[in-house]
Structure 1
Amino acid sequence: MHLSTLAHLHIPAMPPTATTTEPHVVVFAFPFGTHAAPLFSVIHRLATFSPNAHFSFFNTSESNTSIFSASKYNTLPNIKVSDVCDGIREGYTFLGKPQEKIELFLEAAPESFRKSIKAAVAETGRKVTCLLTDAFFWFAAEMAEEIRVDWVAFWTSSPAAVSAHFYTDFIGENFGAGDTMEKDQTLHLIPGFSKVQIRDLPEEVLLGNLESIFSRMLHKMGNMLPRAAAVFLNSFEELDPIIINDLNSKFKRFLCTGPFNLVSSPSQVPDTNGCIAWLDKQKPASVAYVSFGSVATPPPKELVALAEALEASKVAFLWSLKDSSHLPKGFLDRTKSHGIVLPWAPQVEILAHTAIGVFITHCGWNSVLESIVGGVPMICRPFFGDQKLNGRMVEDVWNIGLRVEGEVLTKNGVIDCLDQIFSQEKGKIRRENIKTLQELAKRATESNGSSSKNFIALADLVTNTGNYKN
Structure 2
Amino acid sequence: MDNQKKHVAVYTFPYSSHPSLILTLTRRLASAAPNVIFSFFNIEKSNDVLFSNLSCNNILRYDVSDGIPEGYVFKGTPQEDINLFLAVAEEELRKGVQVAEMDTGLKISCLVVDAFFWFCGDMAEEMGIPWVAVWAAGDCSLASHIYTDLIREKSAQLIGSVGPNEEIVDLMPGLKAVRLGDLPSGVVLGNLESPFSTMLHKMGRTLHKATTVTLNSFQELDPNLTTTLSSKLNNFLSVGPFNLISKEKTSLKLDEFSCISWLDNQNTKTIAYISFGTVFTPPPQELVELAKALEETKTPFLWSLKMDSHKHFPKGFVERVTVNGTGKVVPWAPQDQVLNHVAIGVFVTHCGWNSVLESLGAGVPMICRPFLGDQHLNSWMVERVWGIGLRIEGGTFTKHATRRALEQVFSLSNSRHERMEALKDLAHKAIEPNGSSKQNFKTLVEVVTGETQHEYH
Same fold (TM over 0.5): yes
1:79-113 CA distances to partner (integer Å, 9 max, x unpaired)?
A: 10111111112232322221111111111111111
1:104 to 74, 79, 84: 84
Rounded to whole Å, the distance in 1 between the matches of 2:430 and 2:448 is 21
- The aligned residue for residue 146 of structure 1 is 126
2:436 to 434, 438, 450: 450
Aligned residues: 448
- The aligned residue for residue 361 of structure 1 is 349
- The aligned residue for residue 404 of structure 2 is 416
* C-alpha deviation, 1:191, in angstroms: 3.0
- The equivalences for 1:66-85 within 5 A come to 66-69=49-52, 71=53, 73=54, 75-85=55-65
Which secondary structure does the structure 1 equivalent of 2:310 belong to?
coil
Q: Does 1:299 align with 2:279?
A: no
Rounded to whole Å, the distance in 2 between the matches of 1:31 and 1:256 is 22
Deviates more, 1:121-130 or 1:446-455: 121-130
* C-alpha deviation, 1:431, in angstroms: 2.5
1:192-227 CA distances to partner (integer Å, 9 max, x unpaired)?
A: 321322121011211001111111111011001101
Rounded to whole Å, the distance in 2 between the matches of 1:59 and 1:269 is 24
Deviates more, 1:37-46 or 1:332-341: 332-341
What amino acid is the match of 1:202? P
2:155 to 152, 166, 175: 175
1:114 to 94, 100, 109: 94
For structure 1, the 5+ residue unaligned runs are 1-17
1:211-249 CA distances to partner (integer Å, 9 max, x unpaired)?
A: 111111110110011010011000001100000111001
Which secondary structure does the structure 1 equivalent of 2:220 belong to?
helix
Rate the CA distance shift 1:429–1:313 in 2: closer, same or farther, 3 A: farther
Rounded to whole Å, the distance in 2 between the matches of 1:309 and 1:107 is 45
Q: Does 1:345 align with 2:333?
A: yes
Rate the CA distance shift 1:382–1:464 in 2: closer, same or farther, 3 A: same
- The aligned residue for residue 30 of structure 1 is 13
Q: Does 1:438 align with 2:424?
A: yes
Rounded to whole Å, the distance in 2 between the matches of 1:357 and 1:319 is 13
Which secondary structure does the structure 2 equivalent of 1:59 belong to?
strand
* C-alpha deviation, 1:306, in angstroms: 0.3
1:98-145 CA distances to partner (integer Å, 9 max, x unpaired)?
A: 111111111111111111111111111111110110001111111111
Rounded to whole Å, the distance in 1 between the matches of 2:80 and 2:408 is 42
- The aligned residue for residue 253 of structure 2 is 269
- The aligned residue for residue 236 of structure 1 is 218
CA contact (8 A) 1:21 1:127 kept: no
Which secondary structure does the structure 2 equivalent of 1:231 belong to?
strand
Which secondary structure does the structure 1 equivalent of 2:394 belong to?
helix
Rate the CA distance shift 1:255–1:320 in 2: closer, same or farther, 3 A: same
CA contact (8 A) 1:400 1:434 kept: yes
1:373-412 CA distances to partner (integer Å, 9 max, x unpaired)?
A: 1110000001100111000100010000010101111111
- The aligned residue for residue 49 of structure 1 is 32
- The aligned residue for residue 126 of structure 1 is 106
1:47-89 CA distances to partner (integer Å, 9 max, x unpaired)?
A: 00111111000100011122234x4x4x121110111111112
What amino acid is the match of 2:199? M
1:331-371 CA distances to partner (integer Å, 9 max, x unpaired)?
A: 11222211100111110110011110000000000000000
Q: Does 1:392 align with 2:375?
A: no
Rounded to whole Å, the distance in 2 between the matches of 1:380 and 1:144 is 39
Q: Does 1:318 align with 2:302?
A: yes
CA contact (8 A) 2:125 2:456 kept: no
Q: Return the TM-score normalized by structure 1.
A: 0.92
* C-alpha deviation, 1:430, in angstroms: 2.4
Rounded to whole Å, the distance in 1 between the matches of 2:120 and 2:157 is 29
Rounded to whole Å, the distance in 2 between the matches of 1:283 and 1:432 is 21
Rounded to whole Å, the distance in 1 between the matches of 2:85 and 2:441 is 30
What amino acid is the match of 1:332? V
- The aligned residue for residue 136 of structure 1 is 116
Q: Return the TM-score normalized by structure 2.
A: 0.95
